[in-house]
Amino acid sequence: MMADFEISNLINELSGIHSPIFVDDAESIRDVNIKTNNQVVVAIFIKYSELKVLYDYYNVLEAKKMSVDEQLIEDRNTHMLNAA
């Protein structure tokens, strides 16, 4: 993935055209250290979350936390039903 960003940066510098970088399936990426002067659009699937555009990474983290909380509730309910 990092090589893709480096290639994109190189092409942008050589061409003088600074186009946005789109990152899809970003939920599978653990550490993203993007060094670019271009706009970066990141698509992340968050279970139990409606489709929305988030402009701040803090909001992404909050949505992920809510998703984890929902998953814990679902798992607890499943375990209680299986135990009964």
- Taking CA atoms, 12 is separated from 6, 21, 33, in Å, by 10, 10, 18
56 shares its domain with 26: no
Percentage of the chain lying above the pLDDT 70 cut: 90
Q: Indicate the number of domains in the chain.
A: 2
Q: pTM of the prediction? A: 0.59
59 shares its domain with 26: no
60 shares its domain with 73: yes
Per-residue pLDDT at 57: 79
10 shares its domain with 28: yes
What residue numbers bound the domain in which 29 lies? Answer: 1-45
Beta strands in 1-84 (DSSP E): 21-23, 40-42
- In tens, the pLDDT along 21-62 reads 888 887 777 666 667 778 888 888 888 888 888 888 788 888
3 shares its domain with 32: yes
Residues whose CB falls within 8 Å of the CB of residue 30, separated by 6 or more in sequence, listed in order: none
29 C-beta neighbours (distance < 10 Å), count: 11
